[in-house]
Copies of this chain bind each other. A is one copy, B any other.
Amino acid sequence: MNPKMTPYNINEFKNPLFTVDSVLFTVEHNCLKVLLVKRANEPFLGSWGLPGGFVNVDADATTDITALRNLKEKTNVAPQYLEQLQTFSNTSRDPRGFSVTLVYFALIAAQQVSSHIATIDEVQWVELDKLNSLSMAFDHKMIIEHAKQRLQQKALYSMVPVYCLPEYFTVGQLKSVIETIIGKTIQRKSLIRRIEAANMFEAIDEKVKSGGRLAQQYKVKSGVDIVHFERNLSV
């Protein structure tokens, strides 16, 4: 710091509340689900919300770390990647005052979740179709809707849906998760053309039974990035 600077005390100013929340999606039993926690504290005690929390300025190097730390602490989930969705803010979303939340999102394979800390009562994967029947905290329902739309765009333009598949998967499994995410049927032959163009999967020797036939299994080549396409999948 420049020695001419007078020491800066951030708490001399009125600060906005700043939180970091994550929208984690998975596909399980042909349902798109989101990871939610039941709040054990005010505000919105007893309501369901996104796993998230405040920055620990002494421990977090960036807000990416804040997001991952809160996920790990509150749900025991450690995703391989997180992407920024958007920042939401206003004076009414949190009863404590002007509040900003930076939202991350990701699609991951379904995994066990468990509540680790006292401020969380319960944690679970909830079907998106069932959100209306829950009491939801803050503006988290609207935020999940934004995240879903972004995920659907990504599913049409990229191979992001492989993130929720097991290590070995068939074309049928990939087709199924894409269809669950976008809520529409896609053509098997367009998907196969896309798989060939992406050149990011390799066929593995072991085949699996699928409807009486043996189906080819694939895995993502090591060190390969998710491929983005110029055109969307024809639906």
Interface residues of A (CB under 8 A from B): 1-2, 4-5, 8, 10-11, 13-18, 42-43, 45, 54-55, 57-58, 60-63, 84, 86-87, 89-91, 95-98, 100, 102, 230-232
Once the chains bind, are B4 and A42 in contact (CB under 8 Å)? yes
With beta carbons under 8 angstroms apart, the residue of B2, B100, B230 that contacts A18 is: B100
Please, which residues of chain B bring their CB within 8 A of the CB of A63? 87, 89, 100
User: CA separation between A84 and B232, bound complex, in Å?
Assistant: 24
Once the chains bind, are B43 and A1 in contact (CB under 8 Å)? yes
* Identical copies of this chain, number: 2
Task: Give the Cβ gap from A193 to chain B, nearest Cβ, in Å.
Answer: 16
Please, which residues of chain B bring their CB within 8 A of the CB of A1? 43, 95-96
Task: Give the Cβ gap from A175 to chain B, nearest Cβ, in Å.
Answer: 21
Once the chains bind, are A5 and B89 in contact (CB under 8 Å)? no
A92 and chain B: residue at smallest CB distance: B61
Once the chains bind, are B57 and A10 in contact (CB under 8 Å)? no
A57 and chain B: residue at smallest CB distance: B98
Task: Give the Cβ gap from A90 to chain B, nearest Cβ, in Å.
Answer: 5
